[in-house]
Structure 1
Amino acid sequence: MGLNFSGSHTQIVGDRQIQLDASIVTIGAFDGVHRGHQTLIRRAVAEARSTGVACVVWTFDPAPKVFFGRAAPLSTLTDKIARLARLGPDYIVVACFNKTYCTRSPEDFITDLSRLSPLTVHVGDDFRFGCRQAGDVTLLGQHFNVALADPVLCDGGQVVSSTRIRGLRADGHLAQAKDLQGALGFDALLAGRLMADDTRFKEETHV
């Protein structure tokens, strides 16, 4: 069973807790849920609404770069889920990224994804998956209909990315970093419910 919060229709589930007859899926670390992430997710939500199936956002906790010590997190899991839920998906799948998960093969991930019966999988063109990032969008496209998102650019022409936001924060450009993250509101009710029940949330999703 997943968690469902008042004020939002979005259900939060672990990666082994869901099976669907049809869906539209988008996958990513979504650290910070910045403007690029928001564009990708909104496209997935729009397609799901137009086709009458569920929209699933598949994410990881912690983000792979954070797990491997290559970056500091831009947001807590609570913040990320609250921001993702504001975009309107039906489900948020939280996969526990740990020592076991990161050794799984690309084929294992494809098997997990198949349980959602995705009509389309929305990802960025640099999306990688499986042990040592052996899986890419070409392999994903051999199993599913894949829609690749074009990069979202800021006013200066640079790609909006979690890495760029980290750099801006480190250099003290907090206003610019906030702008790239977008004005997506923080759902205080949802966040409060998550924080108050954080132990149960971890137990239910990290299986």
Structure 2
Amino acid sequence: MTHAAAAPHPFPVLRMDDALPAALAAPVVAIGNFDGVHRGHRAVIGTAIDQARSLGKPALAVTFEPHPRAFFRPSEPIFRLTPEPMKLRRLAATGLDGAVVLAFDAALAARDAESFVADILVGQLGVSMVVAGYDFHFGKGRGGSPLFLREAGKQHGFGVEIVPPLLDEGAQISSSVIRAALAQGRVEQAAHMLGAPFEIEAQVIHGDKRGRELGYPTANMRLDPAVTLAHGIYAVTVEIDGVRHKGVASFGRRPTFDDGAPRLETFIFDFADDLYGRVLTVAFHAWLRPELKFDGIDALIAQMDIDSARARAVLA
């Protein structure tokens, strides 16, 4: 591992071939995919931070990009709750001292569990302790289980803590459960499991300017096709230059007009600046109704008035 000198970063992010700086030596690592950095993930991360503080060691996240499923099943894109940049920002916000991002490629997929432990956890990272969730598996054929990790820790001289599932009213919190909730428009349930409203980050593109003609100019964003958020109308907030603005958003195919590719169209209340080309973060607070086809423009505008009033009430 070689690491070129770089300006200090408030949250260092290291890659496969980067050397650990001295300040991050002998870390306690929380390991996992961490898509969503939801409350279950934060239980694992919080345990790692607590253990690191008690041992006087740094706490790091070890995570994988792209998501392993994207490598194994490229024809079935996965709905990422937090694409890599967002995931790293959320990991930074937990109080961790840094993150190590391992490239999930053919070489890593072919590495067996013992080799992963010996070469990466021990050889490259020199871990003092590993914290993982109860369902974390790693190595070729998912050969590395929590039990395997415990035994490997005894053999190689590092501590292991396995964190049990975090339950929400008896149900397990997981990224797949959150994706399923979002696919049904249950954004409040998703927010409860995530610990914050579900957010999407994307660039504002030029649309057909139809919203402006209707009295509802919208910021149009084309999302990753893998996003399976339910089509419909939502009460949202939009972050612009660090300020949260309230609004109402439609995600779907615009059946009244063109039934085109899914697009997110957000009307931001009491806001008139040009946003083309800007990257916005839209947070989903409530699902108001499904996407509908209207008989005419007047009926659509009347419904948009109702949607806006409902969104303002929800967000008040």
- Say whether the fold is shared (TM-score over 0.5): yes
Normalized against structure 1, the TM-score is what? 0.80
Higher relative contact order (CA 8 A, sep 6+): 1
Residue equivalent to 1:161: 174
SS at match of 1:49: helix
Distance in 2, Cα, partners of 1:5 & 1:172: 41
* Deviations 1:21-57, CA, capped at 9 Å, x for gaps: 4221110000010000011101111211221111110
Distance in 1, Cα, partners of 2:8 & 2:194: 24
Residue equivalent to 2:72: 68
* Deviations 1:78-97, CA, capped at 9 Å, x for gaps: 10000000011112000111
SS at match of 1:142: helix
Residue equivalent to 2:61: 57
Q: Are 1:119 and 2:166 counterparts?
A: no
Asked if structure 1 preserves the Cα contact closer than 8 Å seen for 2:32 and 2:132, the reply is yes
- List structure 1 runs of 4+ shifted beyond 6 angstroms: 2-5
Residue equivalent to 2:162: 148
Structure number with the higher helix fraction is 1
Residue 37 (structure 2) aligned to one of 33, 49, 59: 33
Distance in 2, Cα, partners of 1:138 & 1:68: 24
Shift of 1:147: 0.4
Task: Point out the structure with max Rg over C-alpha.
Answer: 2
Distance in 2, Cα, partners of 1:46 & 1:184: 26
> Gapped runs of 5+ residues in structure 2?
154-158, 200-240, 243-278, 280-316
Structure number with the higher strand fraction is 2
Q: What amino acid maps onto 2:111 in structure 1? A: R
Distance in 2, Cα, partners of 1:164 & 1:131: 25
Asked if structure 2 preserves the Cα contact closer than 8 Å seen for 1:10 and 1:88, the reply is no
Asked if structure 1 preserves the Cα contact closer than 8 Å seen for 2:33 and 2:67, the reply is yes
> Gapped runs of 5+ residues in structure 1?
190-195, 197-207
Residue 87 (structure 1) aligned to one of 75, 91, 94: 94
Normalized against structure 2, the TM-score is what? 0.54
Aligned length: 187
Q: What amino acid maps onto 1:16 in structure 2? A: D
TM-align CA RMSD: 2.7
Distance in 1, Cα, partners of 2:49 & 2:34: 15
